[in-house]
Every structure is written in structure tokens, then in C-alpha cells.
Amino acid sequence: MQILVTNDDGIMAPGIQELAQKMTSLGDVIMVAPSEEKSAIGHGITMFEPIRVKKMSFPGIKEAWAVSGTPADCVKLAINEFCSDCKLVISGINQGPNLGTDVLYSGTVSAAIEGAILGIPSLAVSLASYESCDFSLAGDMALMLARYMYENQQSLPERTLLNVNVPAVDKDKIREVKITKLGIREYENEFDKRVDPRGNIYYWLTGKVVPHGYEDINIDIAAVEQNYISVSPLHFDLTNYKIIEKVQEWGIENKDIER
């Protein structure tokens, strides 16, 4: 089978290299990933510039392409041009967590969402550390899930999409896998204001995570903090069904628009 491997840290990042190698035991691995780091790019796509591709080569990897666009571009392009028979999209292994509301900003997760939009079971995998370079457990976890999803493809829920975060601690400290829901990550003091040598104001986006107070390990943020591997099923339907009726009660449906 064809497995598409992508990421947002760029095709030369150690996390995607580990992930791609792990997946070779399962099928033909096609790597299509950004030529440079594209973190925090969200679900952006490239409409006003050409997308350039460059063929690469890695041991054991069937095909590899470095792409000038975003992670979502990579998945779209790959499915259209390089692996039309793709059975699984795997994005990662990201250097750093992708938890809670932060998944909205994540190129890693957006690539997996794009896979699901195109009807392919998809996984996003992150190592919850900006420093640790030991991607081996996260790679094993990705392989286990990928194997399960491939072997059970007939019975998977439609557009199955999982977001996996692996704590960066010694393997003997890892507890187990928890199926979780996303929490909310809030930040404070988000900007650092500076003045450049020519007197112009600029800002750096920064800010600290507000302590979340989650103790329930069914929430991804708490699970990872307590050394569980978090697996959150995601979807991409932004409709807020819970408040549809409430908004209908506003009575705007049959109202003339005031001018």
C-alpha cells in the first residue's frame, strides 16, 4: 500500500525522517513535505504563487518530494500527482506538542485534516517537547496506529482522523494510551513590543500558556502532562450544532434587513 508521509517542520527534520523509516515496514512510503519549516501556518494553501517541487532521495523511501508550499498544499499535491492510491496520510513527527485549541494553528494537524477532507484515514503525530530528539517511541506509536488503521480499513469510521501527542519522558515513565478530547489552551501577554533602529514599532508574538487547571486525563493537555500518550479523534466540521436552535430563536430568519 501507499502511505503518504508529510510534516510542517520540513522534509529534512529528524521527526519526519524517523516516521518515514518506521512506515517502510508497512508499505510504499511517499514523502511529500515542505522544503522549509512551515510551523504555525495553520490550514493555509498557496493560491497566488507557483508551488515548486524538488525530487529527493532517502534510503528505503519509494519517492520523496520537497515542496515550496504549506503542509496542506503538500497533501493536496501528493494525492493529485504522486500517490493517487494513498491509503493513509501521516503527518509528523512534530517537534513540540499539538494540543487543545493549538491544533488550529498547527501545520502538522492541518496536513492530516487535509488528508481526511480528501477521504483518506489520517494521523498527526507530535512529540511533546521542543528539545528532545528521541522520536523512537512516537514512531512506534505511529506505526501501531497506522497498522491498526490499515488492517481495519473496512470498519474504520468515515474520515478517521487522529491527533497523537507523545510525552517526551523516559519510556519507563510513560503510562499508557488515553483516547482524549481537546482542551482549551490560553495564552497571556502575547506580544513583545520593540522599536527598530529606524524608530519603527514591531512586535514579536510570544506569550506564556495560562495554567490550565485540567486534571481530567480524558483531556489531551492533562493526559500528556501526566505522561499518557494522548490520541484525540478529530473532525473538520466547524458547524456549532449545539447553538443552531438558539440562533434560530433570534428571529432573524423571517425579518427584513434594516437599512
- Binding positions for a copy of itself, 159-218, rule CB under 8 A: 160-162, 176-179, 181-182, 184, 189-191, 193-194, 196, 200-205
- Nearer Cβ to a copy of itself, position 81 or 133? 81
> What's the min distance (Å) between Cβ of 76 and a copy of itself?
6
> What's the min distance (Å) between Cβ of 94 and a copy of itself?
14
Residue 116 near residue 238 (C-beta atoms within 8 A):
no
Q: Which of 242, 209, 238 is nearest to 99 (CA)?
A: 209
Residue 163 near residue 232 (C-beta atoms within 8 A):
yes
- Nearer Cβ to a copy of itself, position 131 or 253? 253
Report the first-to-last Cα separation within the chain, whole angstroms: 59
- Nearer Cβ to a copy of itself, position 36 or 60? 36
Per the structure block, which three cell numbers stand in for 28? 510504499
Ranges within 92-131 binding a copy of itself (CB under 8 A):
101, 103-105, 109-110, 113, 117
> What's the min distance (Å) between Cβ of 2 and a copy of itself?
18
Residue 76: phi and psi, rounded to 5, are -55, -50
- Nearer Cβ to a copy of itself, position 59 or 157? 157
Ranges within 219-238 binding a copy of itself (CB under 8 A):
229, 231-238
Residue selected from 157, 197, 211, 213 as contacting a copy of itself according to rule CB under 8 A: 157
Residue 241: phi and psi, rounded to 5, are -60, -30
The C-alpha atoms of residue 61 and residue 56 are separated, in whole angstroms, by 10
Q: What x/- string results for residues 45 through 84 when contact with a copy of itself is judged by CB under 8 A? A: xxxx-xxxx---------------x--xx--xx--xx---
Neighbours of 122 (CB within 10 A): 29
Residue 125 near residue 246 (C-beta atoms within 8 A):
no
- Number of chain positions touching a copy of itself (CB under 8 A): 87
